[in-house]
Structure 1
């Protein structure tokens, strides 16, 4: 897959079938749209492409981060690549694009820059200045300019409309166990391991701490069964997301106790995959009560890992 991060980079490309959308979660609905795009391109002898923005348009328009990310840009690109896409147009939503009329958006971007001959989009796709463009306008332009438009119906699983908003709400409510059903993967966040308050080490449960990435949606305060991904290996663990009210640390962070692990991870990059919520974060009367609850949390997390990873021994 060839990645284009600006219009200036797009040169000498072949005619395309383009999947249109923000694809901020590349959830199962997005994946279906992209798969149809790839299949159609192969049948027509054209190149398959995905057009998205590196930054969320709503954040640009509001002047503040009102929409949290579900995916890091590199993960988004990797998932799209895995679906067999030839070109990824990952552009910055800048002032020029922001003020493009729907007609200019079609002509200057889709037709002139992307050499689009066919497109796939969702039923609620909008584009152009003040989101004036929609699938109906695309269809009318297609009849006039000679390109095809395929509008996908709402994509549902178990009666739920699969959307990035729906998935954000699941994560924010702590329902991380449902992410696999709608995204096809676990929700994860990453970061550099920083020095914490070291309380966990004194009570027998050393943790690896990462700061909250403010650009990413964060699970509700609580304790979760997790994988800790480090250096290409997944380790089993249990993770607390929150402010640690028992010890008076009011800065929200993510701290993970990794089972049977004794390496020093300070300064290293790790990724935490959330599998299931065990309980909400609560304040205990003292550290001894906290330690006893952590022991119970670890037992529950280990049982979960044993039930879902039959070949492991904990």
Structure 2
């Protein structure tokens, strides 16, 4: 998949079918839209393309709280590429684009830059000045300019419309076990392991610590059953998200104990997948109480992993 980071770099593109949207979670609804676009592109001899933005459009609106990301940029690109996409147009959302007349948006970007012959979008897709552009505007211009428009109706699972805002709510409220239902994968946090206070090691439970990226949506403080992926291998684990209130004042971080693992991970990159929240973070009266609770947390997490393993056999 070829990725374009600036509109000015997009020239001489072969005719395309384009999936339009922010795709900030690449959830199952997004995947369905992109997959239908790819199938159409293959059937009609077109290149399969995704048009998205490198920043969230709402971030440019006044008095709007910055939207937290669900995926890291590399994750987003990897998932989109896995769906068979040829081109990913991931350009900055600017005031110039925000204030474009919807017809100019179609003419100058979708047609001139992308050489678009088919547009795929969700029912709630909006574009152009004051978000006046919508699927009907696309269809009207398409009839005149000779491109097809395919609009995906609300995509529902368990009577819920699948959306990035729904997934953000699930993560932020600790309902991480529901992410698989709507995303087709577990919610995860990745990064480089940093040196912590080494208390876990002293207590017999060495941990790998990740600093939380404040641009990402994160689960609430508490203990979670997790998997850790390191060097291409997946390990059962248990994770504490929080501020370590029993031992002092710390910034919120992710601290993971990997079962049956003895490698040194400082400076290495890992991915932590969140399966289920087991309890809230608690301030204990002393370190011994904390250690006793860690034993119980590990026992509960191991039992959960063993049950999962048994289901797969």
TM-score range, shorter chain: over 0.9
User: What pairs with 1:1-314 in structure 2 (closer than 5 Å)?
Assistant: 1-62=1-62, 66-310=66-310
Alpha-carbon distance, 1:64 to partner: 7.2
User: What is the alpha-carbon distance in structure 2 between the residues aligned to residue 62 and residue 69 of structure 1?
Assistant: 19
Alpha-carbon distance, 1:132 to partner: 1.7
User: What is the alpha-carbon distance in structure 2 between the residues aligned to residue 104 and residue 83 of structure 1?
Assistant: 30
Point out where structure 1 has 5 or more consecutive residues left out of the alignment.
Answer: none
Higher mean alpha-carbon deviation, 247-256 vs 158-167, is at 247-256
Higher mean alpha-carbon deviation, 298-307 vs 245-254, is at 245-254
| Count of residues in Structure 1 that have an aligned counterpart in Structure 2 | 312
SS of 1:85's partner is: coil
Per-residue CA deviation, residues 173-218 of structure 1 (Å, 9 max, x unaligned), is 1111111110011111112211111211111111111111011100
- Does the 8 Å contact 1:100/1:128 carry over to 2? yes
User: What is the alpha-carbon distance in structure 2 between the residues aligned to residue 184 and residue 155 of structure 1?
Assistant: 14
Point out where structure 2 has 5 or more consecutive residues left out of the alignment.
Answer: none
User: What is the alpha-carbon distance in structure 1 between the residues aligned to residue 299 and residue 247 of structure 2?
Assistant: 22
**Structure 1: which 4+ aligned runs deviate by more than 2 Å?**
60-65, 309-312
Structure 1 residues 269, 63: CA separation in 2 closer, same or farther (over 3 Å shift)? farther
TM-score (ref. length: structure 2): 0.96
- Does the 8 Å contact 2:16/2:115 carry over to 1? yes
Structure 1 residues 62, 211: CA separation in 2 closer, same or farther (over 3 Å shift)? farther
User: What is the alpha-carbon distance in structure 1 between the residues aligned to residue 65 and residue 11 of structure 2?
Assistant: 32
SS of 2:61's partner is: helix
User: What is the alpha-carbon distance in structure 2 between the residues aligned to residue 64 and residue 198 of structure 1?
Assistant: 39
- Does the 8 Å contact 2:60/2:95 carry over to 1? no
Compute the RMSD of aligned alpha carbons: 1.6
- Does the 8 Å contact 1:23/1:52 carry over to 2? yes
Higher mean alpha-carbon deviation, 3-12 vs 265-274, is at 3-12
Structure 1 residues 171, 138: CA separation in 2 closer, same or farther (over 3 Å shift)? same
